[in-house]
Structure 1
Amino acid sequence: MTFTKLLTGAALMVAVAGSAHAEGKTIRMGTEGAYAPFNFVNDAGEIDGFERAVGDELCKRAKLTCTWVTNEWDSIIPNLTAGNYDTIIAGMSITAERDEVIDFTSEYFPPDPSAYVALAGADVSATKGTVAAQTATIQAGYVASSGATVVEFATPEETVAAVRNGEADAVLADHAFLNDIVKESGGELIFIGDEVALGGGVGMGVRESDTELKAMMNEAIASMKADGTLSALIAEWFDGRMVKY
């Protein structure tokens, strides 16, 4: 996912702790909790997914204590800069526009193509019709510039629902997010058209002033890449995907 406009809104907090910029402190990890398999809230009401596993391991290696906070996507950057949590770890692609407002660690997930999904029987022309995308994402901006009509929704689930109920001809989102939805649809949904390369790899967002925290996380990310832990977690959560760092 990528961020194209900074919106304000109320944060939903599931954990609170003090800010941290040094080893041994507690930091608050901000995520959306609605973008499986990157991040989601499980049946026990706990934040789960690839990024929960990655984030917990990063904090362990950096000798930090992590607590987890959920926040709606369209206000996730403003609430980081406001100090409501200390990082964003939410499937957020590194982009030049975002980098003007916050800073990023090195990537912990490689660039993922965006893909179109429509109801079975649709053809490629659906990509030029009415296309659903999540608000404040680069997918929404791309659809608007593609000649199609974009209809935006606050959550990724709503974009898929719009296709199912006929509000949209197709949805454009990260392939990694849509893949399981298509597989579990029993043939109701299909991929159509070409994949679209948008944004860079996924990194952890931090405030520009938190240079020490960024350095600590970069060191932890590098160690996870070097010993194969990160590649193993990607394969575990993304259908055996092989990524070598």
Structure 2
Amino acid sequence: MKKLILTTALALSVAGWAQAGDVVRLGTEGAYPPYNFINDAGEVDGYERELGDEICKRAGLTCEWVVNDWDTIIPNLVSGNYDAIIAGMSITDERKQTIDFTQNYIPPAASAYMSVTEDADLSGVVSAQTGTIQAEYVAQSGATLAEFATLDDTVAAVKNGEADAAFADKDALAPFVDESNGEFMWVGEDIALGGGVGMGMRKSDTELRAKIDAVITEMKADGTINAMLVKWFGEGTATY
């Protein structure tokens, strides 16, 4: 899980993807299953790996995957280390001030609280991953926000007593709950946040964004994205 293979960045100008020909570097975190994770072979895997490869195939592009820590994933897009972010990133007005997004490839979905006790104090200490819409929500909710660099650390904070509950995408927390043999449980109400998940792109890369948007539209229409969503997130997940 922690073994990361970094793709060597090409020496391209920050001016944009247009100078790169048909090679597109896709930046992901590699630590947010089932959206994206590093498998036992040390490769990027998950819903977004399958989706990104299919988008590039249909668009006639060559994909190169780059693993980057979440807390610097937008700055490194802007500086040219890769051409698009595909990392479970929710579309928000705040992020749109810095980057653009494709249309969403995951519909707006629930965020949820998870704890080790059914009477967890959701106004107490709540853990969330740094730089997420969930962290922003907790900070504004009146609870004490405990921020962590990864989802694993966010969950571990609940397990070791540093936080009363964790708050994250429900689909991302579900495996922890399902595989915990009752140690973790859902608490409180689900919360709808953001405008779905899309690919983040530099504002200058309008041609690339249009190309990818066209493919996402096609994949929604022919049912490919729905099939991938059910495969990776289960039968109850939101689809198009």
Tell me which residue corresponds to 1:206.
201
Q: Does residue 39 in structure 1 map to residue 36 in structure 2? A: yes
Superposition pairs of residues 86-235 of structure 1, within 5 angstroms? 86-119=83-116, 121-123=117-119, 125-235=120-230
Determine the C-alpha separation between the residues in 1 that align with 2:115 and 2:81: 37
Confirm or deny: 8 A CA contact 1:41 1:48 kept in the other structure: yes
- The gaps in structure 2 that reach 5 residues or longer are none
Confirm or deny: 8 A CA contact 2:29 2:36 kept in the other structure: yes
Describe the SS at the equivalent of 2:51. Answer: helix
What RMSD in Å do the two structures reach over aligned CA positions? 1.6
Determine the C-alpha separation between the residues in 2 that align with 1:78 and 1:23: 19
Q: How far does residue 16 in structure 1 lie from its aligned partner after superposition? A: 3.0
Confirm or deny: 8 A CA contact 2:5 2:42 kept in the other structure: no
Determine the C-alpha separation between the residues in 1 that align with 2:93 and 2:5: 28
TM-superposition CA deviations, 1:143-189 (whole Å, max 9, x none): 11111111111111001000000000100000000011100000000
Determine the C-alpha separation between the residues in 2 that align with 1:219 and 1:23: 20
- Identity of matched residues, %: 58
The 10-residue stretch of structure 1 (60-69 or 142-151) with the greater mean CA deviation from structure 2? 142-151
Describe the SS at the equivalent of 1:235. Answer: helix
Describe the SS at the equivalent of 2:102. Answer: strand
Q: How far does residue 113 in structure 1 lie from its aligned partner after superposition? A: 1.0
1:82 to 79, 84, 91: 79
Tell me which residue corresponds to 1:26.
23
- Going from structure 1 to structure 2, the CA distance change for 1:85 and 1:96 (only over 3 Å counts) comes to same
Determine the C-alpha separation between the residues in 2 that align with 1:127 and 1:222: 39
- Going from structure 1 to structure 2, the CA distance change for 1:175 and 1:242 (only over 3 Å counts) comes to closer
Q: What letter corresponds to residue 93 of structure 2 in structure 1?
A: A
Determine the C-alpha separation between the residues in 2 that align with 1:183 and 1:23: 43
Describe the SS at the equivalent of 2:64. Answer: strand
Q: What letter corresponds to residue 89 of structure 1 in structure 2?
A: I
Describe the SS at the equivalent of 2:121. Answer: helix
1:16 to 8, 27, 38: 8
TM score, norm. by length of structure 1: 0.91
2:46 to 46, 49, 54: 49
Q: How far does residue 21 in structure 1 lie from its aligned partner after superposition? A: 3.2
Determine the C-alpha separation between the residues in 2 that align with 1:241 and 1:77: 31
Q: Does residue 72 in structure 1 map to residue 69 in structure 2? A: yes
Confirm or deny: 8 A CA contact 1:16 1:67 kept in the other structure: no
Confirm or deny: 8 A CA contact 2:5 2:43 kept in the other structure: no
- Going from structure 1 to structure 2, the CA distance change for 1:84 and 1:23 (only over 3 Å counts) comes to closer
Determine the C-alpha separation between the residues in 1 that align with 2:21 and 2:141: 48
Determine the C-alpha separation between the residues in 2 that align with 1:153 and 1:244: 29
